[in-house]
A = this chain, B = another copy of it.
Amino acid sequence: MIAFNNLNKAFESRIRLGVMSILLVNDWVEFATLKEMLNLTDGNLASHITALEKLNYLQVRKQFIGKKPNTSYAVTQAGRKAFNDHLNALEQLIKAREG
Contacts and interface: CB of A to CB of B under 8 A. Distances in A.
A76 interface: no
Contact of A96 (B7, B25, B99): B25
Interface residues of A, number: 27
A17 B7 contact: yes
Identical chains bound together, number: 2
Contacts of A1: 18, 22, 37-39
Given A4-B38, A21-B4, A91-B94, A13 B12 contact: yes
B97 A21 contact: yes
Contact of A87 (B7, B12, B38, B94): B94
A99 B39 CA distance: 22
